Amino acid sequence: MKSGLLIVLNTGLDNPTRSTRAFQMAKIAAEKGIDVVLFLVDDAVFLAKKGIAENVKAPTGDELKTYLQFLVENDVPIFVCKPCASTRQIREDELVANARIETGYTLIDLTMERKVLCF
């Protein structure tokens, strides 16, 4: 039986609406007491880099930084795809406090344990 939620995001600054919505859903899940993990792949890895979320805003007015701040303050894990980060020259020491670099093996393990929501 699956427990918890895995949110996978594969878009970044190129789609502020989807990016913001994924972080918002992670926040809502955490507020509801759901064990949630956010996994960033492709260009979404930029969003875990310190300072990047400051200027990401959806047309609705939602700001990614608000949701990211909540996730950091509440220790919601943010996993960053290792080859995606490496290709984009992002190091783990450049990431927000609760983010860490993980591999596809971790992503597959998480999909087997949780319900999955993709953006």
Q: Is the pLDDT of residue 109 over 90?
A: yes
Tens digit of each residue's pLDDT (9 = 90 or more) over 55-91: 999 999 999 999 999 999 999 999 999 999 999 999 9
* DSSP-derived secondary structure letter, 43: G
Domain boundaries, the chain: 5-118
Angle at 110 between CA 97 and CA 42, to 5 degrees: 65
CATH superfamily of 5-118: DsrEFH-like (3.40.1260.10)
Q: Indicate the pTM of the whole model.
A: 0.95
Neighbours of 66 (CB within 10 A): 14
pLDDT-derived band at 2, boundaries 50, 70, 90: low
19 vs 93: CA distance, rounded Å: 22
